Structure 1
Amino acid sequence: MKNEIHIGKLIRQHLTESGLSVSEFANAIHKTRTNVYDIFKRKNVDIELLMAISETLHFDFINCLHDANSTAKTPTRECGKYLVVKIVEESDLEKEKNVLFSYKLDM
């Protein structure tokens, strides 16, 4: 792997920056506080759990890990916080991939 990221440390960092308490975070991802402290120690996290964590902390950990481990010759971007907005018709919403949240616009 190109750049090894300790996912638990990265999650802890983003939790601290989020302003959520460990208890609030644990409730949001349906885990106990003890489980959360265990997650902080992990180098690997199950993809379903990582998706729940990403949604709760509003950070795309999956793409961050992908970019860090990419074998492409082009330099990888730093892991950062991005909000990308794409407006789609309601009929096309189900076709979209990686939707963490949606908001219906009153137009």
Structure 2
Amino acid sequence: MENCRSTGQQPIPEGDTIFDYAAKVGIPHDILLLHWQEFKARYSEEGAKHQKDWRAVYRNSVRGNWYKLWRMDGNGARALTNLGEQAKRAHTKESA
């Protein structure tokens, strides 16, 4: 993340394949953003494991819904789980 800041790069570039994946499977942008906030928070904690290719780790975390932030409802739409609602509240308070 520091390298991105110092070089002016986006952490997840606009053309990253995760955006195509999210569109294909129906993960809305707001949920993808929430997942990013949670991913960033967990990997920014002191003692967190450093990854050589953290963008690939992020893609894997979205594909696997590692944090269980969303679920598919009976109509195929994505909705936040209890953990998703909790993360939303936590990240809303952090950004306030």
Tell me the TM-score normalised to structure 1 length: 0.32
Taking structure 2 as the reference length, the TM-score comes to 0.34
**Structure number having the greater helix percentage:** 2
The structure where strand makes up a greater share of residues is 2
